[in-house]
Structure 1
Amino acid sequence: MRVVVSEADFDLGAEAERLEAGADTGAVVTFTGRVRDVADGLDHMMIEHYPGMTEKALSQMAQEASGRWDLSGATIIHRFGALRPGDRIMMVATAARHRTSAFEAAQFLMDYLKSRAPFWKKEVTASGADWVAAADTDEAALKRWQA
């Protein structure tokens, strides 16, 4: 399991290749999130976190996914700092012997990242700055994984 929290951008291809290296890996699923513009002209999104706490929480998410599905690997990358529209913000990648496990584990990790990962996001526009609240749809998606 690989967890990276960084200001730096990442190489999608290199990250996917790292997971493809396993001889028993039959499927690698990747999801990349990007900063999208908002209606009133996003200048940048400021993403904050608590070092140490964030990595621990993401590692626990990856371990839980590995316990639920037979994964040969998983990667969670999340950036912080000032990110502009079009910048990559995060990546989730899962590898497994079979595609169903890889897809389901990736969806699980995305749902947890959107609702429970300890990141705080502020959208900065010409008219001011606003913290981004959790979306009801993200909370609803998370419920499908709760026992």
Structure 2
Amino acid sequence: MSVFEIVTEPIVPQTYADYVLRPEAGAVTMFTGHVREWTEGVRTLYLAYEAYVPMAQKKLAEIGREIEEKWIGTKVAIAHRIGELQIGDIAVVIAVSSPHRSDAYEANEYAIERIKEIVPIWKQEIWEDGTQWIGNQRKKPKEIIYD
């Protein structure tokens, strides 16, 4: 069973590390993306994520297959949270195991870049002085909306 999911509850990274850990793996890399307070000098109050869940999960699984084909012996688990996230909350977790550490590192970085490229997830940044949608621009407006 693979773990590629969109969740609404807080992410527990160890769950995903445990999923990919196995005897033949000499390395497990874990990436967690968190909500940060400051972006280019602008204070973020919170983030709101939306996703087209069925397609997002399908695309996360596609990324997992790409990784397992490109880096033989890897195992991948990915979760992305949607809804309103506060400063410090985990928005995404990527766990990759492989026989060798270099493959695990490379595959993990590949995963986050591919998520940004192909997964239908949108992020609304809510700042002290306005908001902006970031992500697949076919659904959400690109321009900044000031309150």
TM-score by length of 2: 0.83
* Paired letter, 2:10: D
> Is 2:17 aligned against 1:9?
no
What is the distance in 2 between the residues matched to 1:76 and 1:23? 20
Query: Of residues 96, 99, 119 in structure 1, which corresponds to 2:98?
Result: 96
What is the distance in 2 between the residues matched to 1:109 and 1:3? 12
> Is 2:110 aligned against 1:108?
yes
Tell me the number of residue pairs that the alignment of Structure 1 and Structure 2 aligns.
133
Residue 46 of structure 1 aligns with which residue?
48
| Structure 1 residue matching 2:67: 3-state secondary structure | helix
Query: Of residues 40, 51, 73 in structure 1, which corresponds to 2:75?
Result: 73
Instruction: Choose between structure 1 and 2: higher helix proportion.
Output: 1
What is the distance in 1 between the residues matched to 2:31 and 2:99? 18
Contact 1:47 1:81 in 2 (8 A): yes
CA apart distance, 1:9: 1.1
What is the distance in 1 between the residues matched to 2:90 and 2:114? 18
What is the distance in 1 between the residues matched to 2:5 and 2:78? 6
CA apart distance, 1:133: 5.6
CA apart distance, 1:62: 0.7
What is the distance in 2 between the residues matched to 1:59 and 1:133? 19
Report the RMSD for the aligned CA atoms in angstroms: 1.6
Contact 2:121 2:135 in 1 (8 A): no
The C-alpha deviation readout for 1:91-132, integer Å capped at 9, x for no partner, is 111111111221111111111112322111111123222112
CA apart distance, 1:71: 3.1
* Paired letter, 1:37: E
What is the distance in 1 between the residues matched to 2:15 and 2:94? 13
What is the distance in 1 between the residues matched to 2:55 and 2:48? 18
Contact 2:67 2:74 in 1 (8 A): no
Which blocks of at least 5 consecutive residues in structure 2 are unaligned? 137-147
Which blocks of at least 5 consecutive residues in structure 1 are unaligned? 135-147
What is the distance in 2 between the residues matched to 1:133 and 1:75? 22
Residue 33 of structure 2 aligns with which residue?
33
